[in-house]
Amino acid sequence: MKLPRLILSRRLSFSEKFYNFFATLTGLTAFNLQFIKEVFIPPYEIKQIKVHMDELGVKTFPIVSITGFIIGLVLAMQSEPVLAKFGASDYLPSTVALSVVRELGPVITALIFAGRVSSGIGAELGSMRVTEQIDAMEVSGVNPFSYLVVTRVIATTLVLPLLTIYVDIIALIGSFLSVVITSGMNFNYYMDSILMSIKFADFIPSIAKTFIFGYIVGIVGAYKGFTTEGGTEGVGRASTTAVVMASLLILIFDMILVKLSLWLWPTLG
Amino acid sequence: MVMADAGIVEIKNLSKSFDDLVVLKDISLEVSEGENLIVFGRSGTGKSVLLKCIIGLLEPDEGEVIVKGKNIQKLKPKELNEIRRNLGFLFQGAALYDSMSVRENLEFPLIMNGKYSQKQLDEKIMRTLEHVSLTEAADKMPSELSGGMRKRIGLARSIITDPEIMLYDEPTTGLDPITSKEISELILNLQMKFNMTSIVVTHDLICAQIIADRAIFLREGKIFYQGVLSELENSSDPFLKNFFSNEIIKE
C-alpha cells in the first residue's frame, strides 16, 4: 500500500495546504480500502481484538460515566423551566430521553471516545512508526496492518455502541435525579413516560450510527499513527490531528446519517 | 529462479531517490554466503536505505535486489514474508516492542510464523538469550534496559528465527567503546557459530576491524571503493584518508 506523503513544514503556503488536504483525503481512502481488503484475510487476531477492546473501551468507562451523568442532569435542569413555562413539565422525561437517545448520547460519547482513543492510537502507532517498530514487525514476516490496524479498528467499532448504550442509561439516571429534586416525580412515572415516548425506531438508527463513529475513531487514529513522519514532533502532530479529524468526521457523518435515518424511517420526524 | 554460484545477496544497478534527493545511484554488489560485508559512508549517503531495499522495506526506483536467487521486488507479499524469515535485521535503535516484555519480544516472530508449544518457546528464548548473555533480562520491559542491553535483545530477536542473512544498521552507534567492542565480538561469534552472512552498516572502525571480511565505502550514492578493510584504511585517496584518520574517528 503506497500512501501519499504530506509536505511537512512549520509554515505551509496555501497551495501546500491544499495539496496536503487532498493527499490526506486520498491517503485515508486508500487506508480504508486496505482495511476492507485485510479484514477478511486470516489470521484473525481475536486475542488482540479483545486486548484492545479492554484497553480502548473498558478504560473509557470512567470518563463517559461522569460525562453522561452530568449531561442528563444538566439537560433536565435546563429544559425544566422552559417546559414549565408552557405548562408541559410532564413532558420533561420524554424530552430528555429523546434528546439523549437520539442525538446527545451517541454524539457526545463518540466525541469523548475520539478525544481519548483516536489520539491514543495515533500516538501509539506513531511512536511505533518513528522508532521503527512497525518496520521490525514487517521484517519478521508479520503483516503490521493486519496486526496493528485491523485489530484496533474492529475493537473501536464494537466498543463504541456498547459505551453509548451505557451512557444513555447513565444520562437518564442523571436526569431522573434532577427531576426528583425539582418536581418530586416518582421513578415509576419517570420510567413510564420514557418508555412510552421512546420507540424502537428511535433506538436502532442512533445505535447503528455509533458503529460508524467507532470505525471513524479507529481508522483515523490508525491512519494518522501509521503514516507518522518527522520524529517525536510527528507523533504529537499525529495524535492531535487524529482527534481533530475524527471529531469533524463524526459530526459530518452524524449530519448525513440523521438525514438518512429520517428518510428511511419518516415516523421519526 | 535459483541461480547457481551466485551470491546469496545480489544487487544490480540499484537506484533510489526521495523526491528530488538522489540517495543511491546505480549500485551493484554481490555478497557471498558466510561473508561479512561492512558498508561505510558518511551520514546521509544511503547506507540504511541500501539495507532497507535489501529486505524490501523500501522499493528501489531502478535495479534489482536478488536474495537467495529471488528478486525481492517481484515477490508476492506471502513469498516476501517467506524470504524475510531467512533474514534478520538489527535496527539502529533496536526497535524493541515497547508494550511487550523481552520474553514477548522474542516470542513474537516465532508465534506469528509457526506453531510452538510453550516449552519449546521457553527453551528457544532462553537458549537465544544465552547467546547474547542476557538470560536475566527475560522478564524485563524494554524501558528497563540500557542501550547496550537493548541492542543485545534486538540482536536476540533477530536471530531467534535462525536467519541465514543478518543485516545490521549501525549496531554500535551510541554505545561506549567497551560495549561497542562486546557487541561487535558478539556479532562475529554468532556469524561463526551459525555461518550467517552479514551486511553491517557502520561508522565504527573498531567494529569493522573485528567483523569485516570485505568493506565497501559509499560516497554520494555510489560505491566509491571496495576491497579488504586494510586496503581501505591505508588508501592514499585523500577523502578516505581523511575519513579513516584517527582525528576524525576521535571526533
pLDDT at B251: 43
Q: What is the mean pLDDT of residues A57-83?
A: 91
Say whether residue B181 is in contact with chain A using an 8 A CB cutoff: no
Which stretch of DSSP H or E encloses residue B244?
A: helix B238-244
- Most B CBs within 10 A among A37, A54, A132, hence the mutation to make, goes to A132
* Beta carbons within 8 Å of A154's beta carbon, 6+ residues apart: A39, A49, A52, A218
On average, the pLDDT of chain B sits at 87
Q: What percent of chain B has pLDDT over 90?
A: 41
What is the Cα gyration radius of chain A?
21
List the one residue out of A154, A134, A156, A155 whose CA is nearest residue A145: A134
Contact at CB, A143 and B84, closer than 8 angstroms? no
Instruction: Select the residue of B82, B89, B92 nearest A139 (Cβ to Cβ).
Output: B89
* Nearest Cα residue to B136 out of B153, B151, B119: B153
By residue range, what is the domain housing residue A181? 46-268
What is the residue type of A17? Answer: K
The stretch A60-80 carries a mean pLDDT of 92
**CA dist., res. B234 & res. A114, Å (int):** 61
pLDDT of residue B1: 36
Angle at CA of residue B112, ends A41 and A230, nearest 5°: 85
Nearest to A27 by CA among A241, A208, A250: A241
Q: What is the pLDDT at residue A196? A: 85
* Strands across the sheet containing B9-18: B21-31, B9-18, B62-67, B70-71
Tracing cell 486496505 back to the chain, one arrives at A34
Contacts of A141 in chain B (CB under 8 A): 81-82, 84-85, 109, 112-113, 161
As a whole number of angstroms, the distance between CA A252 and CA A2 comes to 27
C-alpha cell at B58: 523500501
Whether residue A7 lies inside any domain: the answer is no
Q: CB A266: neighbour CB atoms within 10 A?
A: 9
SS (H, E, C) chain A: CCCCCCCCCCCCCHHHHHHHHHHHHHHHHHHHHHHHHHHCCCCCCHHHHHHHHHHHHHHHHHHHHHHHHHHHHHHHHHHHHHHHHCCCHHHHHHHHHHHHHHHHHHHHHHHHHHHHHHHHHHHHHHHHHHCCHHHHHHHCCCCHHHHHHHHHHHHHHHHHHHHHHHHHHHHHHHHHHHHHHHHCCCHHHHHHHHHHHCCHHHHHHHHHHHHHHHHHHHHHHHHHHHCCCCHHHHHHHHHHHHHHHHHHHHHHHHHHHHHHHHHHCHHHC
Report the CATH fold assignment for B9-250: Rossmann fold (3.40.50)
Report the half-sphere exposure of A32 (CA within 13 A, side-chain side). Answer: 11
Number of independent structural domains in chain A: 1
H/E stretch holding B5:
none
pLDDT at A188: 86
Cβ atoms A212, A110 nearer than 8 A: no
**Residue B11 to residue B29: CA distance in whole angstroms:** 5
Three-state secondary structure call for residue B229: helix
Please enumerate in sequence order all residues whose Cβ is within 8 A of that of A72, keeping only pairs 6 or more positions apart, or say none. Answer: A96, A100, A170, A171, A172, A173, A174, A175, A176, A178
Phi first, then psi, for residue A157 (nearest 5°) are: -65, -35
In chain A, what percentage of residues exceed pLDDT 70?
A: 99
Chain length of chain B: 251
Q: Is B221 helix (H, G, I), strand (E, B) or coil?
A: coil
Question: Chain A, 140-169: which have a CB under 8 Å from a chain B CB?
Answer: 140-143, 147
Task: Examine residue A246 and state whether it is found in any structural domain, yes or no.
Answer: yes
Top mean-pLDDT range of A202-211, A245-254, B231-240: A245-254
**Per-residue model confidence (pLDDT) at position A269:** 56
Asked if A39 and A155 count as a contact pair (C-beta separation under 8 A), the reply is no
Kindly state whether B168 is in contact with chain A, defined as any CB-CB distance less than 8 angstroms.
no
Q: Is the pLDDT at B133 greater than 90, yes or no?
A: no
- How far out from the chain centre does Cα B67 lie? 14
Per-residue pLDDT tens for A74-124? 999 998 888 888 888 888 888 889 999 989 999 999 999 999 999 999 999
Q: Do A139 and B57 touch (CB under 8 A)?
A: yes
Decide which of B250 and B234 is more confident: B234
* Residue B205 binned pLDDT confidence (cut-offs 50, 70, 90): confident
> Average pLDDT for residues A49-70, to the nearest whole number?
92
From the CA of B213, how many Å to the nearest CA of chain A?
25
* B60 vs B57: CA distance, rounded Å: 10
Mean pLDDT of A148-162: 96
Tell me how crowded residue B25 is: count the other CB atoms within 10 A of its CB.
18
Of B82, B92, B108, the CB nearest to A140: B108
Nearest CB to A140 within list B77, B98, B109: B109
Instruction: In whole angstroms, give the CA distance from residue A240 to residue A221.
Output: 10
On the question of pLDDT at B6 being above 70, the answer is no
ipTM: 0.87
Find where cell 433506538 sits: A203
Q: What is the pLDDT of residues B9-22, one digit of tens each?
A: 999 999 999 888 88
Give Cα B219 to chain centroid, integer Å. 19
Shortest alpha-carbon distance between residue B150 and chain A (Å): 13
> Chain B: residue nearest A146 by CA?
B112
B97 contacts in chain A (CB < 8 Å): 128, 133, 136-137
pLDDT digit string, tens, across residues A120-154: 999 999 999 999 999 999 998 888 999 999 999 99
